[in-house]
Chains A and B, each alone.
Chain A
Amino acid sequence: MASIKMQFEVPAKMKTWSLALIAVGLVALVTGLVTKGFSADEHEQTQFWGTLMYNSIFWTLVCNAAMFFIGVTTMAMGGFQQSFRRVPEAISTMVPIFGAITFAVLMYVIFGHKHHIYHWLDTEAVANDPILKGKAGFLNPVFFVIWTTLTIGLWSLFGWRIRKLNDQADGEPMTAEEGATFIYKNTVRAATFLVWFGLTVGSTIPWLWMMSIDPHWYSTMYSWYTFASSFVSGMSLIALWVIYLKNKGYLELTTQEHLHDIGKFMFAFSVFWTYLWFSQYMLIWYANIPEETVYFKHRVQGPYKGIFFLNLIINFLCPLIILMKRSAKRNYTLVAFMAVLILFGHWIDFYQMVMGSLSKEHVTLGWLDFGILSLFVGLMIFFVSRALASKPLIPKSHPFLKESIIHQV
């Protein structure tokens, strides 16, 4: 492997750009804090904290989806991802960082008593409300804090353990026994991560963090919907980094065949997302029970109508039509374009999931949202590129690496 570039170096231009994005984001954050966060108007405060909430939750879940990708492909004894596995690994190093930001924001919302965001924090209202009383075992600050801490902490820990184990793959070639032990250990650690992932992203965490903004309303589909959203965005983010590295002449062992598989994930999980979107929507539309339709009322018929259907066009129709063809999934330009589109689409999706419940009368999408988005994108580029540079790009002694090199679709 003498001719293969193993070490990524962060280009100065990339660093400058990420720092510029962070600077723009910080300006937006401070301006927002002064004009909205400290404002006497409850609506302004709610908008500021809501914006921070959906951005931080979105980016945490997207980066965590990269570790989920490693987990599932490990459990499936997959080999094809080994030639670019350092990319999802690097993306997943963002989980502790974005997780800490999410944690800080959520803790402020809980202990700053922002019951305009979480209505169930209002003890007086809960006492007089039989529905909220019934949910008090789940929706209370103590459980919220413990579960949030555990969730973010264990995501970070289990992800770190998987990455740590895979440093071995940079060492000397393994014997057959060492390789078997290595794969077994990988399987155990991936399984541990996945069980915790299923308990959190697959069920409780989206209910707790986002669905409880509408405390009376519930949908069992909500967590899967959030998971599908974050996973398809995670795949898009992986695709973007892989294509970027290919463009810079790295990842020689990753070819169109691998891109094709990433593209398939993007296509398939866009359809999966739509399946959940539709299942949630149709059942509520069909039953037409007021306590259920309350969620869709201002989204389908109110001010969020445009965003709501734009969401469906970007996240379903575009991937379906554009990514369906085999040649499209093997085309770097097209996959890069679709990855950006899908990431934007699901960011908009998270926007309407959170802000659609917080600001029912007005669509608040504006400078603050894009400013905070730029902060998170800047942080992501800055830290992921650093994480990529900190390790060899190719796990040269991984037992499945050969499988990845000869991978063919």
Chain B
Amino acid sequence: MAKKKFVVGCFEDEAVLFPAVKKVRAAGYKIHDVYTPFAVHGLDHAMGLRETSLHTAGFIYGITGTTTALSAISWIFTKDWPLNIGGKPHFALPAWIPIMFELTVLFAAVGMVLTFCYLCQLAPGVKKHHFHPRATDDLFVMAIECTDTTNTDDLQAFLQSNGAIELSVQVAEEGWWFGRYDNENVPFQNKEIVAA
């Protein structure tokens, strides 16, 4: 629940944003986040974000759903309350597969939505700080986290020299719950990407 100070730079073009992101990181500053009006391909790599583990969580929720369905139905139809349905065997696997499938989807979907909300610190009643209203319209907004030693004037000048058209210093609350993942600051290195 700590209040933090951010230097916010706004960019008008992706083509300006990309080199700026790389330079800011190479200079050792920590980018809190970049807010864009649409999904920008390759920005996650430029920002050095790690691969999300949301899909792994989804897989685990999914198989939990499958197991729940299979164990529940098989226990009900073979042990608890066996019924003769159309002369089919009590353990009628083909008939259960649609239900197992549905529960897999249900568990995976609901679980992933909740996990996503937790990771993004979203919940009913939570007010998130907006760094710039035009981030949802046509502006690329970069928020840089300040430490005790950050000189905000220098940083603003640095951003301006890299093409930022609007600058501000804002104090905002970040996170409302424990365990929020706070990625470490890895400076940008111009590594050669080996294709294939």
Binding site for B on A (CB under 8 A): 246, 255-256, 259, 278, 281-282, 285-286, 288, 324, 326, 332, 406, 408
> CB-CB < 8 A to B196: which residues of A?
246, 255-256, 259, 332
Known: A246-B196, A256-B196. A286 touches B55 (CB 8 A): no
Question: Is B41's CB within 8 Å of the partner chain A?
Answer: yes
Decide: B97 and A255 in contact? CB cutoff 8 A: no
Decide: A408 and B42 in contact? CB cutoff 8 A: yes
A324 to B63, CA, bound (A): 13
11 contacts between A and B (CB under 8 A): A256-B195, A259-B196, A278-B94, A281-B94, A282-B95, A282-B97, A286-B86, A286-B95, A288-B86, A324-B59, A408-B41
> CB-CB < 8 A to A324: which residues of B?
59
Decide: A285 and B94 in contact? CB cutoff 8 A: yes
A288 to B98, CA, bound (A): 18
Tell me the minimal C-beta distance from B14 to chain A in angstroms: 12
A350 to B177, CA, bound (A): 56
A285 to B96, CA, bound (A): 12
The number of residues on chain B lying at the interface, defined by a beta carbon within 8 Å of a beta carbon of chain A, is 14
Least CB separation from A275: chain B residue = B101
A138 to B109, CA, bound (A): 45
Decide: A255 and B94 in contact? CB cutoff 8 A: no
CB 8 Å contact bits of B19-50 with A (1 = contact, 0 = none): 00000000000000000000001100000000
Give the A-B pair count, Cβ closer than 8 A: 27
A246 to B195, CA, bound (A): 11
CB 8 Å contact bits of B84-122 with A (1 = contact, 0 = none): 001110000011011000000000000000000000000
Decide: A286 and B41 in contact? CB cutoff 8 A: no
A26 to B41, CA, bound (A): 51
Decide: B195 and A286 in contact? CB cutoff 8 A: no
Decide: B94 and A286 in contact? CB cutoff 8 A: yes
Tell me the minimal C-beta distance from B192 to chain A in angstroms: 14
> CB-CB < 8 A to A286: which residues of B?
86, 88, 94-95
A259 to B195, CA, bound (A): 11
Tell me the minimal C-beta distance from B170 to chain A in angstroms: 31
Which one of A256, A282, A406 lies within 8 Å of B94 (CB-CB)?
A: A282
> CB-CB < 8 A to A259: which residues of B?
196
A259 to B87, CA, bound (A): 48
A282 to B42, CA, bound (A): 44
Least CB separation from A252: chain B residue = B195
> CB-CB < 8 A to A281: which residues of B?
94
Least CB separation from A281: chain B residue = B94
A281 to B88, CA, bound (A): 15
Tell me the minimal C-beta distance from A311 to chain B in angstroms: 16
> CB-CB < 8 A to B97: which residues of A?
278, 282
Decide: A326 and B94 in contact? CB cutoff 8 A: no
> CB-CB < 8 A to B59: which residues of A?
324
Tell me the minimal C-beta distance from B4 to chain A in angstroms: 32
Q: Which of B51, B97, B195, B196 has the most CB of A within 10 A?
A: B196
A408 to B59, CA, bound (A): 23
Decide: B195 and A326 in contact? CB cutoff 8 A: no
Tell me the minimal C-beta distance from B7 to chain A in angstroms: 29
> CB-CB < 8 A to B51: which residues of A?
326
CB 8 Å contact bits of B34-78 with A (1 = contact, 0 = none): 000000011000000001000100010000000000000000000
Decide: A326 and B95 in contact? CB cutoff 8 A: no
> CB-CB < 8 A to B87: which residues of A?
288
Which 10 pairs of residues, A with B, have the shortest CB-CB distance?
A: A255-B195, A282-B94, A408-B41, A285-B94, A408-B42, A255-B196, A256-B196, A246-B196, A278-B97, A286-B95
> CB-CB < 8 A to A332: which residues of B?
196
Tell me the minimal C-beta distance from B161 to chain A in angstroms: 27
> CB-CB < 8 A to A278: which residues of B?
94, 97
A255 to B87, CA, bound (A): 55
Tell me the minimal C-beta distance from B46 to chain A in angstroms: 11
Tell me the minimal C-beta distance from B175 to chain A in angstroms: 28
Least CB separation from A324: chain B residue = B59
Least CB separation from B45: chain A residue = A408
A255 to B193, CA, bound (A): 11
> CB-CB < 8 A to B94: which residues of A?
278, 281-282, 285-286
A288 to B86, CA, bound (A): 9
Least CB separation from A255: chain B residue = B195
Least CB separation from A282: chain B residue = B94
Least CB separation from B59: chain A residue = A324
A281 to B86, CA, bound (A): 17
Tell me the minimal C-beta distance from A322 to chain B in angstroms: 14
Least CB separation from B56: chain A residue = A325
